[in-house]
Each structure stands twice: as structure tokens, then as C-alpha cells.
Amino acid sequence: MAGGTPLGGSSDLGGGISPSLVKIVLVSMALGLAGYIVGPPLYWHIAEALGSSSSCPPCAACDCSAQPLLSVPEELINVSFTDCAKHDPEVSEEMDKNFRDLLAEELKLKEEQATEAQHRADVTLLEAKKMASQYQKEADKCSSGMDTCEEARERAEAALLQQKKLTAMWEQRARRRGWKNAHAY
């Protein structure tokens, strides 16, 4: 054991755990987990195949249409309690009343939720209408401004045309009197 560690590693690795020991631990954990998962179903399958084949009633006598889709094993059913509730009119009436109360409460809750959702939808619709109205007002202002600008442009264009005519007339008069344009554009 000279030069080794108690866990099976060598002192060359600085006291670490041996890789073979890690593999052994992982394999044993995997086998234990597999046994834990597969063991109980396998046990009950084998026990059912060996032991209870004689106690099973013949399958031909079974009326499957009369059985419910989800059946509770007889060991879990408290027969005396269910029989008692079936035959006692007060208990039956009380259970019906509780069932009706639960349904009424659920219906009231659904109605409140629907009313709240309708209220939120109404508020959202109102806000959308307000925003649409605001945008329409802005669009109307913009359209009005465009009309004003267009009218101003037309007036400026007419004034420019008038000014060009006046300039041409004065230039014509000036040329008749001997003016020569030294700076031609």
C-alpha cells in the first residue's frame, strides 16, 4: 500500500479518486436505479402469472357493457358508506343541494368573469374610438393646412406671372429707349 491512497488512488494524482472506483460506483447506482424502476412491475407480473390464475373467474361470464369505463377496485370501496348514501333521502338531498350550490357558484363566477371581460373590451373599444377621433381631427387639420398652402401657392404663382408680365413690359420700354442688357441670364 506504499504510495497509494485509502480510496484506491495513487499519490501521483494528488490524492484524487480513482477512475475505476468512480466507474464501479456509477455502475452500481445505475443497476440499483434500474432494479427500482423495473423490479415492482416485473414482480407483480410474475406473481400474477404464477399465483392468481386459479382465482380468476372465466372471462366468458363477464358482461363488459354493464361495467363503467373507470372502475375502482373493490378493496378501495367502502360499500357500507356508498350503500348508506344511496338509500338515505336526506343525504341524497343534501348532496344534490351541495351540487346545485356548487354549480350556481361556478355559474356566477363565470358570469362575473364574462362581465369583467366585456367591460375591459368596452373600455378598450372606447379608447380606440377616442384615438381614432383624435387622429381624424389631426388629419382634418393637416388637410385644411394643405388646402391653405395650395391656395397660397396658386396666389403666389399668379402674382409671379403678373410680375413677369410687368417686368417684360418695362424691359420692352427700356429697350425701345436704347437700353442694352449687359448681363444676360
Residue 157 β-bridge partners: none
- Cα–Cα distance for residue pair 33/40, rounded to 1 Å: 12
Q: What is the pLDDT of residue 77?
A: 58
- Quick one: average pLDDT of 155-173? 94
Q: Where are the alpha helices (DSSP H) in the chain?
A: 19-51, 79-87, 89-176
79-131 pLDDT, tens digit each: 555 555 556 677 777 888 888 999 999 999 999 999 999 999 999 999 999 99
Domain spans in the chain, listed from the N-terminal domain onward: 86-148
Residue 10 bridge partners (DSSP): 4
pTM: 0.34
The pLDDT tens digits of the residues spanning 38-70 come to: 888 888 888 888 875 555 555 555 555 555 555
